[in-house]
Amino acid sequence: MSTISRDEVARVAGLARIDLRSDEVDRLAGELDVIVESIARVSQVATADVPATSHPIPLTNVFRDDVPQQPLPQQDVLAAAPAQEDGRFLVPQILGEE
């Protein structure tokens, strides 16, 4: 039994301003129907004792702790720069302003 009709697909496509040919409407109606049926099957299996999950494998944060530290000395940073002027990075002008 189809839950997504051809007319519903055409209506949603029209609301989204997507121009679909007749064969595309038929194809999408079938594909969307398969998706809806798959969701219904999963919903039947999901019970209260099965916790919801967004990923099948537990993920852990791999980042280090964010611990404040002393910044690098300005001269050390500027020593690695291709160009500097008055204690700042010197970069090419990109706007027509002076």
Q: What share of the chain is helix, strand, coil (3-state, %, to 5)?
A: 40, 5, 55
Kindly state the average pLDDT of the residues 59-82.
Answer: 89
Position of tokens 């989204």?
16
Across 34-40, average pLDDT: 90
Enumerate domains of the chain plus CATH numbers: 6-45 (1.10.20)
pTM: 0.47
Phi and psi at residue 49, to the nearest 5°:
-85, 0
**Residue 32 clears pLDDT 90, i.e. is over it:** yes
Q: How far is CA 49 from CA 41, 52, 55, in A?
A: 17, 9, 17
Q: What is the pLDDT, as a whole number, of residue 21?
A: 95
Q: Strand, helix or coil at 84?
A: strand
Provide the residue count of the chain.
Answer: 98
Of residues 55 and 31, which shows the higher confidence score? 31
Tell me the angle at which helices 22-45 and 6-15 cross, rounded to the nearest 10 degrees: 100
